[in-house]
């Protein structure tokens, strides 16, 4: 008979302490899902750190990613009770973990479909989750897709497009992502927000960060319409000069390209090339 869970040995990527976690056997070897990531909260492997572990379909550890966001939320927690109408960033982190929240925001911005497998006992307001995320990711190029809620028993028979579907399991911190890129942009947006103690302002900060990103996207589209190709370094300099902003980092340029490809035009987005490609192309 098949075992229901498998023990996987993990090492904290920060302090190198080791521990094992159990994950359901049925998660592994599922062809319909994208890459498997497990969000490890503080206390699960070592007392202090949280991180993401990447598994291949056989259950082998393929890598770790640190999450560089500090949650000092005792303060915010008490203030939060005063606002009842909206979800706060802290509540979202509590519900889905930091990486879960990065993934949901990424999914909204880059037009993926998201499912959350709901915990039986959950009384979380998913309507408000959609409102919150749609509000911060709202833009001229797409209407963010609503996150759908699944009950645990219903998802096994479900047909999912693994290239376009994010799946988060509330019960066990397992996240199936259709993308491979790191979520550094979303991490930065949310880190900037969590630096602000007043929870009412946290959402505004995320929205400002998203808008600043979209402004660069918009300008990039203008640039791309007039060129055959442009390498990422020239694009970086041009965005910074034209908009009078600090130079976007490599990751941000990659995400601008990804945004254009997924939401506007693949052909336009692919005009952005790496400098080495430009060099080889001229030979």
How many whole angstroms separate alpha carbon 279 and alpha carbon 283?
7
Which of the ranges 11-19, 93-101, 133-141, 244-252 carries the binding residues for Zn ion, by CB under 5 A? 11-19
Exposed/middle/buried for residue 217 (C-beta within 10 Å: 0-12, 13-18, 19+) = buried
Contact between residue 27 and residue 37 where contact means Cβ atoms under 8 Å apart: no
Both structure tokens of 234: 């020239």
CB nearer to Zn ion: give 12 or 235: 12
Both structure tokens of 128: 């408000």
CB nearer to Zn ion: give 25 or 48: 48
How many whole angstroms separate alpha carbon 160 and alpha carbon 268?
28
Q: Interface with Zn ion includes 52 (CB under 5 A)?
A: no
Contact between residue 112 and residue 178 where contact means Cβ atoms under 8 Å apart: yes
Size of the site for Zn ion (CB under 5 A): 5
How many whole angstroms separate alpha carbon 114 and alpha carbon 51?
21
Which of the ranges 6-14, 152-160, 205-213, 255-263 carries the binding residues for Zn ion, by CB under 5 A? 6-14
CB nearer to Zn ion: give 14 or 28: 14
**Nearest C-alpha neighbor of 170 from the set 106, 232, 103:** 103
What letter would DSSP give residue 159? -
Question: Please, what is the minimum distance in Å from the beta carbon of residue 47 to Zn ion?
Answer: 7
Question: Please, what is the minimum distance in Å from the beta carbon of residue 18 to Zn ion?
Answer: 10
Question: Please, what is the minimum distance in Å from the beta carbon of residue 64 to Zn ion?
Answer: 11
Question: Please, what is the minimum distance in Å from the beta carbon of residue 66 to Zn ion?
Answer: 9
Q: Interface with Zn ion includes 49 (CB under 5 A)?
A: yes
Contact between residue 38 and residue 169 where contact means Cβ atoms under 8 Å apart: no
Kindly tell me which residue out of 14, 71, 243, 261 binds Zn ion, with binding defined by CB under 5 A.
14
Kindly tell me which residue out of 5, 7, 9, 15 binds Zn ion, with binding defined by CB under 5 A.
15
Q: Interface with Zn ion includes 46 (CB under 5 A)?
A: yes
Which of the ranges 49-57, 80-88, 207-215, 226-234 carries the binding residues for Zn ion, by CB under 5 A? 49-57
Residue 68 CB contacts under 8 Å (≥ 6 apart), including other chains: 187, 191
Q: Interface with Zn ion includes 51 (CB under 5 A)?
A: no
Question: Please, what is the minimum distance in Å from the beta carbon of residue 12 to Zn ion?
Answer: 3
Q: Which residues bind Zn ion (CB under 5 A)?
A: 12, 14-15, 46, 49
């Amino acid at each position: 008979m098949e075992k229901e869970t498998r023990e996987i040995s993990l090492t904290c990527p920060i302090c190198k302490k080791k521990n094992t976690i159990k994950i359901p056997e049925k998660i592994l070897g599922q062809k319909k899902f994208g890459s498997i990531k497990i969000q490890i909260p503080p206390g699960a492997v070592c007392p202090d750190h949280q991180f993401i572990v990447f598994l291949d379909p056989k259950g082998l550890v393929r890598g770790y990613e640190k999450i560089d966001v500090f949650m000092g939320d005792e303060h915010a927690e008490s203030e939060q009770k005063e606002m009842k109408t909206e979800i706060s960033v802290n509540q979202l982190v509590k519900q889905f973990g930091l990486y879960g929240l990065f993934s949901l925001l990424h999914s909204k911005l880059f037009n993926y479909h998201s499912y959350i497998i709901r915990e039986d006992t959950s009384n979380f307001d998913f309507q408000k989750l959609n409102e919150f995320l749609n509000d911060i990711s709202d833009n001229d190029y797409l209407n963010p897709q609503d996150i759908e809620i699944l009950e645990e028993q219903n998802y096994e028979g479900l047909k999912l497009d693994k290239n376009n579907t994010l799946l988060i399991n509330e019960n066990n911190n397992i996240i199936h992502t259709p993308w491979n890129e790191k979520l550094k942009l979303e991490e930065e947006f949310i880190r900037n927000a969590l630096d602000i103690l007043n929870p009412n302002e946290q959402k505004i900060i995320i929205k400002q960060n998203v808008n600043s990103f979209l402004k660069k996207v918009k300008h990039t589209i203008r640039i791309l319409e007039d060129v055959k190709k442009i390498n990422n370094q020239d694009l970086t300099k041009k965005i910074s000069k034209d908009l009078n902003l600090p130079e976007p980092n490599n990751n941000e340029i990659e995400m601008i390209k990804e945004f254009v490809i997924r939401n506007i035009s693949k052909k336009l987005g692919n005009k952005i090339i790496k400098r080495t490609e430009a060099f080889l192309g001229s030979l």
